[in-house]
Structure 1
Amino acid sequence: MANISMTEVPLICHAQSLAGKIKSIGVTITHGASGDITLTFRLSGETDALEIPALSRPDRIDNLWKSTCFEMFIGHFEDENYLEFNFSPSGQWAAYQFASYREGMDDLATNAPDIKSEQSADALTLIVTLALPDTWRERDLRAGLSAVIATKSGNISYWAAAHSSGKPDFHHKDCFAVKLEARSAA
């Protein structure tokens, strides 16, 4: 039987931002034996008030965080480097690698994730499946799960499994609160 783990994680609105008409955001993270990760982000609230990018070609695009997007930061703490993934309800995505805290940023060489989104009047669901780079699959990792939610009125709220002190900063290691053990076939 394959070694698969599943974790449910609630996201918390940062104290310096307003949740507005969002009731909750949660993430289910499934880490399979092959090293693939599936993230299911579920937002509950009045979606008509949100600025949700329209479905478009699933290209790699920078600056997705300027509108509604969902994110995963991942690191292993044996050194300072980490990865950042951004996923838009539009199907667009981005992936970066950092040498250290906000330093040495480069595009991450990776395949496009599979992104599916569904929206109703009171919910937005985004399901993302991605493959970690080979060198990251056999290590114990810590993930930061987060969301940037923009409203049509111009407000932005910042949600994460854990926040660092001060202003919202998903790159800070305090936000990497979800443990992912190295996957292998059982």
Structure 2
Amino acid sequence: METHELTAHPAYPPLAVTSVTARIVSRDENWLRLRWRIEGSAKLVVPAFAGKGRADELWRTTCFELFLKPDGGTAYCEFNLSPSERWAAYDFSDRRDGMEDRPAPREPECTMRQGSSFAIFDAAIPSGALPERDCDAGLTCVLEEEGGIKSFWAIGHPQDQPDFHDPACFTARLVAPASA
């Protein structure tokens, strides 16, 4: 599947991170698999292991996000995935409106590996938590580095301030699996 180059919002430059790529690795009847690769990760702040479970406000530190807007409407969902293994899923009826917890039949799986100059974050979201139609997708992340420096990464940044909920950020595609 296609790899997307993410860019840091110019109002929040990173400290040492030089690039981030994100991609949808695969989708089958059980899982949607995603991968983010961070180059220049030596100063990256990685949240401590907390074990699986829902948690709000994961974006306040290093967090990886997926937005999915099914074709034919304004409603969309958001998944927040943390290296701590905490996660969140929300439904919105319209841009930043009508937020509710999105049900998931099982918890996502998240793993983070760090090399000497890069880090890889892999996530698997259970298919039962995903919309069943083709979707516009936004692949994003918030990266915290030493000293509390945060950068906001997305495929595009149409606003003066970071806003991952902007429909213009949903430029990737996730195709629904074919019916058997």
**Match for residue 70 of structure 2?**
76
1:135-146 equivalent positions in 2, closer than 5 A: 136-137=131-132, 139-146=133-140
**Match for residue 53 of structure 2?**
59
Identity %: 32
**Match for residue 85 of structure 1?**
79
**1:52 Cα shift?**
1.2
- Does the CA contact (< 8 Å) of 2:41 and 2:119 recur in 1? no
**1:131 Cα shift?**
2.3
1:8-157 equivalent positions in 2, closer than 5 A: 8-34=3-29, 36-47=31-42, 49-110=43-104, 111-133=106-128, 136-137=131-132, 139-157=133-151
Distance (Å, rounded) in 2 between the aligned partners of 1:184 and 1:174:
27
Question: Per the alignment, do residues 134 and 68 of structure 1 end up closer, same or farther by CA in structure 2, a change over 3 Å counting?
Answer: closer
Instruction: Indicate the RMSD between aligned Cα atoms, in angstroms.
Output: 1.7
**Match for residue 165 of structure 2?**
171
TM-score between both structures, scaled by the size of structure 1: 0.89
Distance (Å, rounded) in 2 between the aligned partners of 1:161 and 1:19:
16
Partner deviation per Cα, 1:59-113 (whole Å, 9 max, x = no partner): 1110000001110011024111100001111111111111111111011110211
Distance (Å, rounded) in 1 between the aligned partners of 2:150 and 2:129:
35
Partner deviation per Cα, 1:136-160 (whole Å, 9 max, x = no partner): 22x1111100010112212110000
Specify every segment of 5 or more residues in structure 2 that has no aligned partner in the other structure, as ranges: none
Question: What is the aligned residue count?
Answer: 179
Partner deviation per Cα, 1:5-52 (whole Å, 9 max, x = no partner): x221111111211122001111121242427311011111042x2221
- Does the CA contact (< 8 Å) of 1:35 and 1:183 recur in 2? no
Specify every segment of 5 or more residues in structure 1 that has no aligned partner in the other structure, as ranges: 1-5
Distance (Å, rounded) in 2 between the aligned partners of 1:181 and 1:135:
11
**Which residue type is aligned with residue 47 of structure 2?**
P
Q: Secondary structure at the match of 1:153?
A: helix
**1:116 Cα shift?**
1.3
**Which residue type is aligned with residue 30 of structure 1?**
V
